[in-house]
Amino acid sequence: METLLQLVNFNTKGYYFEGVRIKDAPRFVWRGLMIDAARHFQPVAVLKRNLDAMAAVKLNVFHWHLTDDQGFRVASKIYPKLQEQASDGLFYTQEQIKEVVRHASNLGIRVVPEFDVPGHASAILTAYPALGSKEGYPYSIERFSGVFNPTLNPIKEATYTFLENLFTEIAPLFPDEYFHIGGDENEGKHWDENKEIQEFKKKQQLKNNHALQTYFNIKLEKILKKLGKKLMGWDEILTPSTPKTAVIHSWRGKQEGLAQSTLIAAAKKGYQTVLSAGYYIDRMLSVTHHYSVDPIGNAVLTKEERKRILGAEATMWSELVTPQTIDARIWPRTAAIAERFWSAKKITDINNMQKRLKVINFQLEELGITHIKNRDVILRNISNHQNIEALKALSKICEPLKIYSRNKGGTEYKTFSPFTLFADACSADAEDAVAFNHQVQVFLASNNLNSLQQIKISLKKWSTNYVDFQKHKQTPITHALEPLSKNVSLISELLHGSLLSKKFTKEDQSISKQLIKQLKEPCQDVTLVILDSLNKLVHFCTTNYN
């Protein structure tokens, strides 16, 4: 059905399908998107519209991250303190969970829940501190981002009773056979500080905390098996003792001591595997980067090993997103990632992908995705509802800081930070920057006059943008952006004049050097992504117009 919808064409008389023959099948059976509803709660309406978008690009697994240090998001009738004390009142009722699962099922999407244990347990232990590994510790819902010490106690029988009762209650809400237990980023600090746990390790001949966590996971695997569920966990759960029925979710890529990525290593050892390394869309890397990552790469696999690689997932961790911004962080990049999961390995033409992505971008908006309109909402908010054209022009050449360099250390922002800043209006693929960088590349490679004309048009537009920026009363946020706007205009004006006059004096060179230096510094959590191209044009002018 989605293929047919993509093929709808039209003329002045009506809409129609072209006469075509379709021969198509997915490369991977598991084509997923993980949405973290724990760090920032995502209401049902947000999930539904993203499920609609997933179906449109033929993703078929919704991985729902429901618990973490910042909140426990599922109502429990057996353990009501979980929603009363560990959710800030932001949780899904069991009826809402059924509603989301029904909506997904109608779209052909399976729903895999994740309850992250034994680490990332601050919220759980806020409600039930007796299950913790450090007696007397002041457990509370975590407000910052990062990796924290609160961890379930793996030697207490009460821990397993709690998890078995909870999973017995919750598992029927999710008909799918896969059940994700997280298992990541447990550094075991509280285990190391607990004498009883250390004695238990010696008695059980468990060499380290990794072995102790495997002991914990084996117990969980048995609990889930009784419930008709298959245990799935992040690649930290992969040890020699891990049952072969477990599904290994590779997120760290190639690890120390492994010749291959954890995905390939697990498949070769007999485990079913799913990949997320390379598809962490919260890292704000470009669509080109993600599209260039192949789930299997050049690994040599037997037929059976290949069969164990179920597929891959894009992961939307939500430390820095809210319901207002999450769509723009997922889409449209995930449409390109979805193609990587579906199409043959040889489909790698980036220019062709970007051409088609422009069409998909607007089709996603038709489905209710808010990634386009909410940029303007945020910019209007920033400007106190004044004209936003100058801000919009700036946003189209800036991108948020990448790979977690925004919110370094996890303490710049807190759970209830609004995320309505300029960086939140910028995307991972600044559209005008992508076009400009391409034209500069073409011009410098072949002295293409058409590209030169497009470069001049862009530089002219940016050279006057600061004048427009200054026309409006400055708010604290726009005032902080003023140096960026001014310097972009100054260097654009300088380069535009040089390309017209074919003159570039020593003074021009000196001024350009200073402006480039200032523009290299991040401003308000964004970077200027035309900077490299501007620098290349400076070099070109210096070399040719001296």
Q: What is the pLDDT of residues 201-222, one digit of tens each?
A: 999 999 999 999 999 999 999 9
Cα angle for residues 21, 23, 28 (degrees, 5° grid): 155
pLDDT given for residue 546 in this prediction:
81
pLDDT given for residue 88 in this prediction:
98
pLDDT band (50, 70, 90) for residue 256: low
19 C-beta neighbours (distance < 10 Å), count: 5
Between CA 238 and CA 240 the distance in angstroms is 7
pLDDT band (50, 70, 90) for residue 408: confident
Between CA 103 and CA 34 the distance in angstroms is 16
Quick check: 258 pLDDT over 80? no
| pLDDT digit string, tens, across residues 170-184 | 999 999 999 999 999
Measure CA of the first residue to CA of the last residue in the chain; give whole Å. Answer: 60
Quick check: 260 pLDDT over 80? no
Q: Under a CB-based contact definition with an 8 Å cutoff, are residues 25 and 307 in contact?
A: no
- Taking the mean position of all CA atoms in its chain, how far away is CA 263? 19
Residue with tokens 């997915």: 26
Q: Under a CB-based contact definition with an 8 Å cutoff, are residues 254 and 195 in contact?
A: no
340 C-beta neighbours (distance < 10 Å), count: 24
Strands 398-400 and 30-36: unpaired
Q: Under a CB-based contact definition with an 8 Å cutoff, are residues 275 and 260 in contact?
A: no
Between CA 514 and CA 135 the distance in angstroms is 57
Q: Under a CB-based contact definition with an 8 Å cutoff, are residues 91 and 79 in contact?
A: no
Judged on CB neighbours under 10 Å (0-12, 13-18, 19+), 455 is buried
Residue type (1 letter), 288: T
Quick check: 377 pLDDT over 60? yes
Task: Please state the rounded mean pLDDT for residues 98-122.
Answer: 98
Between CA 525 and CA 537 the distance in angstroms is 25
pLDDT given for residue 255 in this prediction:
63
In order of start, what are the domains of the chain with their CATH numbers? Answer: 2-260+275-365 (3.20.20.80), 373-544 (no CATH)
**Before 332, cis peptide (omega within 30)?**
yes
Between CA 378 and CA 381 the distance in angstroms is 5
Task: Please state the rounded mean pLDDT for residues 291-309.
Answer: 95
Q: In this structure, what are the phi and psi dihedrals at residue 519, rounded to the nearest 5 degrees?
A: -75, -15
Residue 38 is given by DSSP the state S
Task: Please state the rounded mean pLDDT for residues 422-426.
Answer: 98
Task: Please state the rounded mean pLDDT for residues 230-234.
Answer: 98
pLDDT band (50, 70, 90) for residue 459: very high
pLDDT given for residue 163 in this prediction:
98
| pLDDT digit string, tens, across residues 524-542 | 999 999 999 999 999 999 9
List, by residue number, the catalytic residues.
Answer: 185
Task: Please state the rounded mean pLDDT for residues 12-27.
Answer: 95
Q: Under a CB-based contact definition with an 8 Å cutoff, are residues 534 and 542 in contact?
A: no
Between CA 104 and CA 191 the distance in angstroms is 39
Quick check: 301 pLDDT over 70? yes
